[in-house]
Structure 1
Amino acid sequence: MSDRVAHLQIIQGVINRLSQNSFLLKGWTVVLVSALFALAAGDSEILFVYLAYLPAIAFWWLDAYFLRQERLYRALYDEMREVEDADVDFSMDTRSVADRVATWFKVALSPTIIAFHLTLIGAVALVMVIALLRQ
């Protein structure tokens, strides 16, 4: 196996782990927000609904971070697939491709991220309004 192929496999492994992290993060977000909703319903304590904003927003930030990192490694993969075997240094530094990838803020507002997280925050807001109306 050539050095280039080995390096590409290492980069692909990182991309796969980042993608898996993003998937798991979305699952944990739904679980935590749902648990806080259940606590709010059980005790009729609206504070738990307010607390649901914390994981929703924090995990939005983390999801954007993981997606940006995944995009950086995809750009590094694209760069490395054209490198000659003699020039492979097995570097995992993504600074050389950072200008090809959107900033974290733009990634956080990308359709793939915002559709999930804004819907979740909207659901928290809706539950909050319903809880306030019941009091």
Structure 2
Amino acid sequence: MESKIKHLEMVENIIERMAKNCFTLKGWGITLIAGIFALSAKSTEQKYVLVAYIPILVFWFLDSYYLQIERKYKILYKNISAKSESEIDFDMDTNNIIITESVAKKLCYFRCLFSVTEWLFYCPTLVAITILIRILNVF
């Protein structure tokens, strides 16, 4: 039973790391946007504020990628927990996981991109940037 527990702990650590990466990306995104707005407010050229869209979109795509990896490792965790002690091989490859068709849909990158956690953070952020650009009368 000890090798199964160790294998599950290894997968738990990876899942935790992916979740931390997602959280960190959201923090960096907000920080960069605030910095871009601060620089464009001091600058004579306010059109630099349009650059604020770039980090949000890049971080959204990267965050979705980490979410997809996290979901794969959660399925790997379930597969490992269903194995017997003699079947534990410490394989961490997510390409070898056993998935159903409904689970495969959830692992689709497009589904991760528009998952609730991603959509509820990045869409309002994009709307807020657009509203601030309209308030600043950039155009």
User: What TM-score do you get using the length of structure 1 for normalisation?
Assistant: 0.91
Q: For 1:38 and 1:122, how far apart are their aligned partners in 2?
A: 18
Q: Do residues 104 (structure 1) and 112 (structure 2) align?
A: no
* RMSD, aligned α-carbons: 1.6
Counterpart in the other structure of 1:41: 41
Q: Do residues 12 (structure 1) and 12 (structure 2) align?
A: yes
For 1:52, what is the secondary structure of its paired residue? helix
**Structure 2, gaps ≥5 residues long:** none
Q: Is the 8 A contact 1:72 1:97 kept in 2?
A: no
User: What TM-score do you get using the length of structure 2 for normalisation?
Assistant: 0.89
Q: Is the 8 A contact 1:39 1:45 kept in 2?
A: no
The CA deviation string for residues 34-54 of structure 1, in whole angstroms up to 9 with x for no partner, is 100111111142232110001
Q: Do residues 130 (structure 1) and 135 (structure 2) align?
A: yes
Which letter does structure 2 place at the counterpart of 1:94?
T
Q: How does 1:33-112 map to 2 (within 5 A)?
A: 33-95=33-95, 96-97=97-98, 100=103, 101-112=106-117
Counterpart in the other structure of 2:123: 118
For 2:136, what is the secondary structure of its paired residue? helix
Which letter does structure 1 place at the counterpart of 2:136?
A
**Structure 1, gaps ≥5 residues long:** none
Which letter does structure 2 place at the counterpart of 1:17?
R
Aligned residues: 134
Percent identity over paired residues: 32
